[in-house]
Structure formats: structure tokens, C-alpha cells
Amino acid sequence: MSEYIVKGDMHTHTVASQHAFATIGEMIDQSNKMGLEFIAITDHGPEMTDGALRLHFLGLSRLPEVIEGIRVYKGAEVNIKNFRGRIDLDNSILKKLDFVIASLHLEAIKPGTREEHTEAWLKVIGNKYVDCLGHVGNPSFDFDHEPVIKALKEEGKILEINSNSPIARKGSRENCVDIIRLCKKYGVPVVATSDAHHKWNLCNVEYSMNLLKELEFPPHMILNTSKAAMDEYIERRRKEKTRTVSLQP
């Protein structure tokens, strides 16, 4: 039975993001010190002011799946660049990654209307290579919550509850509360993430977990409380990404 204890962090950054302060090796070493079982390396896409180079994401596939006992998911936090859902890595790279978070960043796109933000999320959910929506509570990109959560359910995708939001995106709590309640209503799983930009903040998910627990969100629906649940989600999404539509004669 799942508890409110995470076994890995699905949103982390390394020096490839330029404004972060740890190598992949340092993040893995810290994961071992903390007794974690897995980690996702999700550096910023290249069309952010100081995002990682395109070659960084190409090179991730050369890393072993397990490094020093830690399962390493190769990922990215891509930037949504317009309200029609364009993101800043192409499919040839995205299909090689394990876990792709799509986010709206002030450094990558100017806020629009509530309707435009809603449309952007809906378009991104429809992108078969996107696995997770990032820090959706950001009040700078307010949106209509219910249709987005319903779309996640229909597409079998998830979102994160980001513990860095109280610092980086003040005013997120009210939105996160409503979003968590809707995820609970529609049966949409989440991950509780740190958005760590250095090893000392790795898996610092106290804010997210306290909020989820306060709202009585089922712990088994917090996927990173279980390596088996996380692996199952990643594997299902991998199959969906490689599935092709057969044309009927």
C-alpha cells in the first residue's frame, strides 16, 4: 500500500541548464545518499534564455538506465513557445527520451489570455511525446482547469505538483488546490517534484506532499511514491509513443 513518501524525483536540473549547479553524477550521488530509487534528468529546452543545448538531449541516450543503483530517466522540460502548442525540441529527439515535461515559462513566452493558456495546454496534451505538464499552478498563466484535467484523463497523462512554486511562482497555492481536487475527481495521477536546480534541493517535496495529504489525494495516485508505478507509467507511455496508426484499405 502506497504512503505519502516519494521514492524518486521526476523534475531535476543539472549544469546543462546553465542556471543550475550540479552535474548528473552529483545528482545521482545525492540520490544514493538520500536513499532514493530513481531520478529524472529534465533540463530546460534550448529556446529558453539559458536552456540546454539540443546535443545534450541527443547525448542522454548514451547513459546507462541504471547508474550506481539509481534508475535514471532521461528527460527534458520543454518550453511551450506559442499557444498552438509548439515546443522547443523536435520529435526526432523527443522520441528518444523517457519523460518529457512541458511548461510555460516567462523566459520563453509572454503570457496571453486565459483562453490562450487553456488552448496551449490542450494542444500540448495532444502531443504524443509529452508525458507531464509542469508547474501548472503558475498564476501568470492562468487557465480553465477542468477541461485541461479532463483532457489529461482522456489521454492518460499526468501533471506535477511542483514544490518550487511557492518560491519561484508566488500565488500558485490556490490554483494547485483546485487542480489537485480536479485530479482527484477525474482520477488523474500526479508526481510530487522538487524542480531542483542543485543537489541540496533534490527531492525537497515537502510542500507538494503536505498539500496532497491535506487534500486527501490518494497516495497510490502519486506515481513517484512507487518505483513500480513510475516504471509502469514510463513503459506504457513508451509504447504509446512508438505506436503507429494503421491505415485501413
Q: Where are the domains of the chain?
A: 8-240
Assess whether pLDDT exceeds 70 at residue 246: no
| Cβ contacts of 22-31, under 8 Å, gap ≥ 24 | 22/197, 22/198, 22/199, 24/63, 24/72, 26/199, 27/196, 27/199, 27/202, 28/67, 28/68, 28/70, 28/72, 29/68, 29/199, 30/199, 30/200, 30/202, 31/70, 31/202, 31/203
Confidence of residue 249 (pLDDT cuts 50, 70, 90): very low
Which pLDDT belongs to residue 248? Answer: 41
pTM: 0.96
Asked if residues 102 and 78 have their Cβ atoms less than 8 Å apart, the reply is: yes
- pLDDT score recorded for residue 63: 97
- Residue 1 pLDDT more than 70? no
Query: Would you state the cell numbers that stand for residue 161, as one nine-digit string?
Result: 505538483
Q: Give tens-digit pLDDT for 69-94.
A: 999 999 999 999 999 999 999 999 99
Superfamily classification of domain 8-240: Metal-dependent hydrolases (3.20.20.140)
Question: Which of 26-40, 116-130, 168-182 has the weakest average pLDDT?
Answer: 168-182
**pLDDT category of residue 164 using cuts at 50, 70 and 90:** confident
| Residue 166 scores a pLDDT above 80 | no
